[in-house]
Structure 1
Amino acid sequence: MRLHRNLVYTTIDSLNAIFNEKEYADKVVARALKKDKRWGSADRKFVAETIYEVVRWKRLYSEIAEVKEPYNRDDLWRMFAVWAVLRGYPIPDWRQLEGTPERKIKGRFDELSKIRVYRESIPDWMDEMCAKELGEEIWTKELAAQNKQAQVILRVNTLKTTKDKLRAILMDLNIDTDYLKDQPDALVLKERANVFMTDAFKEGFFEVQDASSQLVAHFLDVKPGMRVVDTCAGAGGKTLHMASIMENKGQLIAMDLYESKLKQLKLRAKRNGAFNIEYRIIDTTKVIKKLHEKADRVLIDAPCSGLGVLKRNPDSKWKLQPEFIDNIRKVQAEVLENYSKIVKPGGKLVYATCSILPSENQEQIAKFLNTTEIGKSFNLIKDAKILASESGFDGFYMALLERKL
């Protein structure tokens, strides 16, 4: 087990882009993995996982390395050295790593691991806010769970294949999967693999979608032949799942503020063989008004803090700001009030977020039902709060509402 110079240089360049140029980690990693065509799967795995690890533990590593933002290249090397020592790599005799204080690093790690904000590497304000909303005990467990590497979950596209057939196809490619209990469309990878390079992905046999996210379409109780509206469709993971459950029968309207996201969805839908989807950009209020009381089912996958998916997006810990959370709560309330009007009497609505904060979830629903005119025409049928510490998957919230006849 030794460090390879070209892989480490790429890692340092990538960390500079994320920390100093404020680029998104997933985009930086994708670019880094294309840097050298000669790299094997082990090389690419090292680059991707090391970048994410240093991003995830930024606060802890920078404290141990005694460096502060903005980081210069020497600072980034010192943080990398902390990572290497804690992961048990022998430190090579490179100029950038000269004088790495291995014993001091291990000592500081033991010392700082007693303090939650360092042990779990999180900003003070976020730690305080989440502890206040969830309680110290739940937040401590949840934070530890959010610092574990996310599993790769596939959602079988039942428009093109079955779970058993896909599992067999992947097994022939030496990609082993397991079934997930109570998840009719899910397969979980036993080991991480680049599934996007397989013919099965290119032919639309599956999408990568977390197990918690896969619950939403079933929670909404969509059926073939219905008129269904996905109001915040984005690139369309849940839209495509609903299309498959609907067996391409009925009308599925995917709406979003951003045309670029709907263009992505169109490409994915073509690959998936989903052809009952209509695309509408929300560029005026008329787009919503035209659909008032017209839909059997409405999904509001609301914009949120993303505090349930930190394991998947560790850089969001450092990008999120308290003002954003305050603002997003107002947006959620507006979206819920405006888009709920699309549901026809007797129809159903699901409000979902990938947040674990009650103020974005249960409290939003209670406020909607009790204080808004449109909210008083709905009943809460059921809701589900999913914590990563309990499920092993993303933190999520879903509320199913039915409009009174």
Structure 2
Amino acid sequence: MRLHRSTSEGVIQALDAIFGAKKYADKVIEKVLKQNPKWGARDRRFIAETTYDIVRWYRLLRRVTEAKGDEYWKLLAAWCVLHEIDLPMWDEFKGIKRDSIKSLYKEAEKTRKIIESVPDWLDELCEREIGRQWNHELHALNEEAAVVLRTNTLKISKRDLQKLLAEENVETHVHDQFQDALLLEERQNVFGTSAFKDGLFEVQDAASQFIAPFLQVEPGMRVIDACAGAGGKTLHLAALMKNKGRIIAMDVEQYKLDELQRRARRAGVSNMETRLIESSKTVKRLEDNADRLLLDVPCSGLGVLKRNPDAKWKLSIEFIDKVKDLQQHILNDYCLMVKPGGLLVYSTCSILPSENDQQIKKFLENRRDEFELQEEKHALPSEGFDGFYMARLKRLK
């Protein structure tokens, strides 16, 4: 592999926006890739994958180069050295010493938080909460995330989608554990395919695809997705309900609901309405309303660092404490939207017990006469996909 000037500059530009301007990596990369239409698929893949990889190993790369501030070319140099890529004779790479980088890398291997590239506070928090298991999860969170599709069964079967994608040179394989999932054989942009434009699939991690079936919906039910966001799980629920019954998708951000409406039209979803949560009255009006209630609450996102590696450099202990208070608030304020006899699912994309089972335990301590826990499920990053938690509760009265 040989470095090219324009694509290397694209990586540096992206790193400056992510770390210098504190912007989200996915949005930055999307913007950088749009600026040069001459870049081919291989160039675009290099910029995206290299940027994400440097973000993922940011602390380690800074350590082995002793980089300061915005010395992003040093980080790219170290990334090349560690991947056995020859450095061009560019001014930006003057003074880079391969032997020094490899020596400092060996030294870094002695310290988990450096070799696995996480902030001190995050390493300490996760070790405190999940103990030795953190070693396995941290290592898994530094692996590249698989690209997983969810078949839109309102329009096509999984096998037929697989054949159709193969005709568009997108090779996939099935995973027996996931009912509607197809995994890409290699990373590629699937959003330009006719299959995507026709609404035949959504990109959705396999572990995330556990949540909608866990709610045990049936066609004809009245379902509320109270933290819908852009609606990946809402659309999955609609498919499981075969467009029969009613889904109310709620969120505190109108732009997310607007995006959900757009996605729903593409997917052929007709049993959904959106509702902005403007105040507590919005929730109060829906008391005793739903057969099923999904609370996919805001969380730290520590279970999805594979696909959002920049999050570990943006998170803080203060944010996590704040979001845990919000989770308990949502549980207690929203829970009565489900009818007596109905089911509620609480879910997060976190691996922290303090955001997961401990939140359910705290909730039930105050409402043991109203709700009972039916089942909990953990999906761990070390099992191959994202980290998720889900708990299903039944409302008694």
TM-score normalized by the length of structure 2: 0.99
Could you tell me which residue of structure 2 aligns to residue 23 of structure 1?
23
Letter in 2 for 1:102: R
- Deviations 1:191-218 (CA, angstroms, capped at 9, x unpaired): 1111001010011000000011000010
TM-superposed deviation, 1:114: 1.8
Is the contact between residue 229 and residue 253 of structure 1 (CA under 8 Å) also seen in structure 2? Answer: yes
TM-superposed deviation, 1:286: 1.2
Letter in 1 for 2:92: Q
Is the contact between residue 370 and residue 376 of structure 1 (CA under 8 Å) also seen in structure 2? Answer: no
TM-superposed deviation, 1:404: 1.1
| Partners of 2:312 and 2:206 in 1: CA distance | 22
TM-superposed deviation, 1:35: 2.0
Q: Which moved more, 1:202-211 or 1:37-46?
A: 37-46
Could you tell me which residue of structure 2 aligns to residue 326 of structure 1?
321
Could you tell me which residue of structure 2 aligns to residue 196 of structure 1?
191
Q: Which moved more, 1:285-294 or 1:296-305?
A: 285-294
Q: Secondary structure at the match of 1:385?
A: strand
Letter in 2 for 1:245: L
Aligned with 1:105 (options 97, 101, 114): 101
Q: Secondary structure at the match of 1:279?
A: strand
Aligned with 1:122 (options 118, 125, 130): 118
Letter in 2 for 1:404: L
Q: Percent identity?
A: 52
Could you tell me which residue of structure 1 aligns to residue 214 of structure 2?
219
TM-superposed deviation, 1:105: 0.5
Matched, 1:402 2:394: yes
TM-superposed deviation, 1:182: 2.4
Aligned with 1:147 (options 142, 147, 160): 142
Is the contact between residue 57 and residue 120 of structure 1 (CA under 8 Å) also seen in structure 2? Answer: yes
Q: Secondary structure at the match of 2:369?
A: helix
Point out 4+ residue stretches in structure 1 off by more than 3 angstroms: none
- Deviations 1:6-26 (CA, angstroms, capped at 9, x unpaired): 000111011000001001000
Is the contact between residue 309 and residue 354 of structure 1 (CA under 8 Å) also seen in structure 2? Answer: yes
Could you tell me which residue of structure 2 aligns to residue 55 of structure 1?
55
Aligned with 2:304 (options 304, 309, 312): 309
| Partners of 1:186 and 1:311 in 2: CA distance | 18
Letter in 2 for 1:80: L
Could you tell me which residue of structure 2 aligns to residue 85 of structure 1?
81
| Partners of 1:322 and 1:183 in 2: CA distance | 34
Letter in 2 for 1:188: L
Q: Secondary structure at the match of 1:280?
A: strand
Could you tell me which residue of structure 1 aligns to residue 374 of structure 2?
381
TM-superposed deviation, 1:67: 2.2
TM-superposed deviation, 1:80: 1.1
Letter in 2 for 1:116: R
Taking the TM superposition and a 5 Å limit, the aligned residue runs for 1:221-370 are 221-370=216-365
Q: Secondary structure at the match of 1:121?
A: coil
- Deviations 1:336-366 (CA, angstroms, capped at 9, x unpaired): 0111110101100000000000000000000
Could you tell me which residue of structure 2 aligns to residue 393 of structure 1?
385
| Partners of 1:158 and 1:181 in 2: CA distance | 17
- Tell me how many residue pairs correspond in the alignment: 397
Q: Secondary structure at the match of 1:151?
A: coil
Is the contact between residue 253 and residue 278 of structure 1 (CA under 8 Å) also seen in structure 2? Answer: yes
TM-superposed deviation, 1:174: 1.9
Matched, 1:187 2:182: yes
TM-superposed deviation, 1:98: 1.5
| Partners of 1:199 and 1:32 in 2: CA distance | 24
| Partners of 2:342 and 2:105 in 1: CA distance | 54
Q: Superposition RMSD on alpha carbons, in Å?
A: 0.8
Could you tell me which residue of structure 2 aligns to residue 33 of structure 1?
33
Letter in 2 for 1:370: E
Letter in 2 for 1:383: E
| Partners of 2:218 and 2:33 in 1: CA distance | 41
TM-superposed deviation, 1:128: 0.3
TM-superposed deviation, 1:187: 0.5
Letter in 1 for 2:72: L
Could you tell me which residue of structure 1 aligns to residue 46 of structure 2?
46
- Deviations 1:304-344 (CA, angstroms, capped at 9, x unpaired): 00010011100000000110011111100000011111010
Matched, 1:132 2:120: no
Matched, 1:174 2:166: no
Letter in 1 for 2:32: A
| Partners of 1:247 and 1:179 in 2: CA distance | 22
| Partners of 1:243 and 1:2 in 2: CA distance | 47
TM-superposed deviation, 1:275: 1.1
TM-superposed deviation, 1:129: 0.4
Q: Secondary structure at the match of 2:279?
A: coil
Letter in 2 for 1:63: R
Is the contact between residue 59 and residue 122 of structure 1 (CA under 8 Å) also seen in structure 2? Answer: yes
Is the contact between residue 142 and residue 388 of structure 1 (CA under 8 Å) also seen in structure 2? Answer: yes
Q: Secondary structure at the match of 1:194?
A: coil
| Partners of 2:293 and 2:248 in 1: CA distance | 10
| Partners of 2:369 and 2:357 in 1: CA distance | 16
Q: Which moved more, 1:282-291 or 1:142-151?
A: 282-291
TM-superposed deviation, 1:269: 0.3
- Deviations 1:212-265 (CA, angstroms, capped at 9, x unpaired): 100001000011000000000000000000011111100100000000000000
| Partners of 1:50 and 1:182 in 2: CA distance | 31
